[in-house]
C-alpha cells in the first residue's frame, strides 16, 4: 500500500470525503499537508513490531509502497493515521474512536518469532 492510499483510506474512515469517495475540499488542503507527517509517525510506530533490529526507513514519497506489510497497513496503520488527522482537526470524537481501534489492532499484529538459545548457568 502506498502512503497516498493509506491517507485516502484514513480520510474516508473519518468521513472527510464527498459521497463519491473523493477527498472533501474543506479538509483536503491542511490534511494533505499533515498527511506525510501522520504516515511517518504511524510507520515509525509499527515498523519495529514487524522488523525488529532493522533501521527505520523514512517515508518521503507518498506514491511509493510503505515499508509495512499489507496486513499492518489495512489492519492498524489506517486507523492510526485517521487518529492523528482527527486530533489535528480537533475532532475529539473521531480521534477517540480511531485511537481505540488502532491500539487494539496494533497489539494484534503478528510479530516475528524471536530466536532464543538455551543457556546453562555457569558454575562458580
Tens of pLDDT along 3-41?
999 998 998 898 887 777 676 666 566 777 788 999 999
The helix (run of H) or strand (run of E) holding residue 108 is none
Task: Look up cell 525488529; give the residue.
Answer: 52
Least confident of 4-8, 40-44, 61-65, 114-118: 114-118
pLDDT at 106 over 90: yes
pLDDT at 74 over 90: yes
DSSP 35-76: HHHHHHHHHHHHHHHHSTTSPPPP---TTSBPSS-HHHIIII
Q: What mean pLDDT is reported for the chain?
A: 87
Q: What is the pLDDT of residue 119?
A: 75
Q: What is the pLDDT of residue 27?
A: 59
Would you say 96 and 73 are in contact if contact means Cβ atoms under 8 Å apart?
Answer: no
Would you say 99 and 107 are in contact if contact means Cβ atoms under 8 Å apart?
Answer: no
Share of the chain above pLDDT 70, in %: 91
pLDDT at 83 over 80: yes
Amino acid at each position: 500500500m502506498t502512503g497516498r492510499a493509506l491517507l485516502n483510506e484514513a480520510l474516508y474512515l473519518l468521513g472527510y470525503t464527498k459521497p463519491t469517495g473523493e477527498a472533501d475540499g474543506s479538509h483536503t488542503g491542511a490534511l494533505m499537508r499533515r498527511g506525510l507527517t501522520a504516515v511517518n509517525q504511524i510507520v515509525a510506530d509499527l515498523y519495529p513490531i514487524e522488523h525488529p533490529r532493522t533501521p527505520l526507513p523514512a517515508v518521503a514519497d507518498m506514491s511509493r509502497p510503505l515499508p509495512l506489510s499489507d496486513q499492518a497497513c489495512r489492519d492498524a496503520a489506517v486507523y492510526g493515521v485517521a487518529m492523528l488527522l482527527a486530533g489535528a482537526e480537533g475532532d475529539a470524537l473521531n480521534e477517540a474512536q480511531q485511537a481505540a481501534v488502532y491500539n487494539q489492532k496494533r497489539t494484534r499484529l503478528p510479530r516475528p518469532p524471536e530466536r532464543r538459545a538455551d543457556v546453562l548457568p555457569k558454575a562458580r
